[in-house]
Copies of this chain bind each other. A is one copy, B any other.
């Protein structure tokens, strides 16, 4: 049995997947007005579905196991201009996660928190954002090897963008040391 994030359920997990005090929306955000995202590829990660997976990118980096972004052939021309060493924002679709929990009680926290104050994959729009370092790439094959990722193997890829310290760090939170390159 899978729980709300697609991980095998531990003993003691309630059947509906709700922990005490959690609030589920009375509708599925998948059916609400919005827009359609295209899957532009897949993420090949060391983490098979149903097994253990780092719960965030910090844990994934500690494991020091790389991942590969596979970009579909039709979108590969969009990779031109990326180079190893670049820092990237990777957006992906956490397709194993339920989307209807609006108040959650994370296991590591044991108190109730609104979904938008959490990085949980369980959210109305399960779009994850990961900051990674590009280690190698083969543009013809559409593959980008990155330092770490915190999602299951096969997770759909939505977007790749350059990570820029001038915009991706809050004013004053740290001094950007400028991997930023002209034009990105």
Q: Mostly helix, strand, loop or mixed at chain A's interface? A: mixed
Q: How far is the CA of A74 from the CA of B28 in the complex (A)?
A: 12
Copies, count: 2
Q: How far is the CA of A39 from the CA of B34 in the complex (A)?
A: 5
Number of interface residues of A (CB under 8 A): 81
Proximity string of chain A (93-126) to chain B, C-beta cutoff 8 Å, 1 when within and 0 when not: 1010000001100101101111111110001110
Q: Which among A34, A95, A103 has the highest number of chain B CB atoms within 10 Å?
A: A34
Q: How far is the CA of A93 from the CA of B167 in the complex (A)?
A: 18
Q: Beyond A91-B127, A114-B78, A170-B132, is A183–B106 a contact (Cβ under 8 Å)?
A: yes
A1-9, A11-19, A45-53, A153-161 - interface stretch: A153-161
CB-based contact B174/A114 at 8 Å: no
CB-based contact B77/A23 at 8 Å: yes
Within 8 A of B (CB), among A169-184: 169-171, 173-177, 179, 182-184
CB-based contact A34/B37 at 8 Å: yes
> A168 contacts the other chain (Cβ, under 8 Å)?
yes
Proximity string of chain A (79-100) to chain B, C-beta cutoff 8 Å, 1 when within and 0 when not: 1111000010101010100000
List 17 other contacts, CB 8 Å, given A37-B125, A117-B162.
Answer: A25-B74, A30-B38, A38-B125, A40-B125, A58-B166, A75-B102, A78-B116, A80-B114, A81-B118, A106-B183, A108-B183, A116-B161, A118-B161, A131-B169, A132-B170, A169-B169, A174-B175
7 A-B pairs with C-beta separation under 8 A: A32-B38, A36-B36, A56-B167, A78-B114, A81-B116, A81-B117, A119-B184
